[in-house]
Amino acid sequence: MKTLMIKTHEVWLEVLMASFMSNTDNKKVLSNFSDILFRHFTWLENEHIVLDESYNYDRDHIPIKVEKLSDILKDITNRLNEIDLQLMAIDNKALSSRISSDLYYITSVLMHMKDEKITAFNMERKYQGTILSQEATDALTLFLFEESYKEYELIMIYNYLKMHSSDSYMNRIFQILIEESFFHLKSFGDMQAQMGLLGVPRIVMKDLYQVEDVVQFLKDGINEELAAKEECIKLSEAVAKESPELEKFFNFINQQENYHIALMEDALKHFKKANNE
């Protein structure tokens, strides 16, 4: 079960990375498949919780640097076939049947997917033909690397908290934050790929998501969101003269952070009240 969960985690990320690489209709299909595989991951996680088995979000290195889309699709297909074989170890036959059926369809689509030349690793650092100064390019590069990891980290943290909470009010907030982080991760991942800088986010340390002090976690999270707002403002200002579209985009992201802060403040108040703190 633990191996199965790890392998599902890895292939979810690999399919997500493949979606960032694509510049054709394949992108949407791969993105949808990554969403399905993430759901599989959470369902397998729930099985661990039901069976009272310990687990974490550790995983192995995921090599994604390819010249053709077909190269990574071949690796993904092999991983999916391996997972399908391991599903026999699950006692929950309804779950194993559902996942197996999904994997059969996904692999059948991947086998006939039109190939593409991949430019997501060329290190050109150009975004949609926009000519940015060295300073703006460096600022954008650093932001994308830091924030793509941060959003992946937040997805894993909020997911872990949601999986271990029976508080429906808190879980509603965690789910909103998961969905918001997915949007940001996909946006930043697409930008990284267009700039030739795509990379898999590093592994999230277990101390970050196995939260013992929820109050302190929420307080720290609010401060991190405030810091993220400042980074968005700085980046927006850095690209303002050279790319009005990028300026608008990062202002848009900045405004979204306001609601994230409000949600976390709401969660903090609710948690304190529910636990008489």
**Do both 53 and 140 map to the same domain?**
no
Stronger pLDDT, 129 or 50, i.e. the higher one: 50
Cα gap 98→95, rounded to integer Å: 5
Query: In the listed set 83, 118, 153, which residue is the last one of a domain according to the structure?
Result: 118
pLDDT (mean) for 71-81: 97
CATH number, residue 163: 1.20.1260.10
Output the pLDDT for position 215: 92
Scored b (16 or more CB within 10 A) or e, 181-196 reads bbebbbbbbbbbbbbb
Residues 44 and 171 in one domain: no
For 122-173, the pLDDT digits (tens) are 999 988 878 888 888 998 999 999 999 999 999 999 999 999 999 999 999 9
Q: Are residues 126 and 239 in the same domain?
A: yes
Return the pLDDT at 146.
Answer: 92
Helix (H) / strand (E) containing 113: none
Residue after which a domain boundary falls, among 55, 86, 118: 118
Per-residue pLDDT tens for 165-219?
Answer: 999 999 999 999 999 999 999 999 999 999 999 999 999 999 999 998 999 999 9
More confident residue, 65 or 136: 65
What mean pLDDT do residues 83-98 have?
93
User: Quick one: how many helices (H) and strands (E) in the chain?
Assistant: 9, 0
Give the pair of three-digit tokens for residue 201: 């986010």
Asked if 59 and 151 sit in the same domain, the reply is no
Domain count, the chain: 2
Residues forming a β-bridge with 130: 127
Residues 190, 114, single domain; the answer is no
pLDDT tens track for 225-266: 888 888 888 888 888 778 888 888 888 998 898 999 999 999
| Domain shared by 176 and 249, yes or no | yes
| Residue 26 and residue 156 in one domain | no
Q: Do residue 84 and residue 139 come from a single domain?
A: no
94-128 tens-digit pLDDT: 999 999 999 999 999 999 999 999 999 999 998 88
Domain that holds residue 176: 120-277
Q: CATH number, domain at 40?
A: 1.20.1260
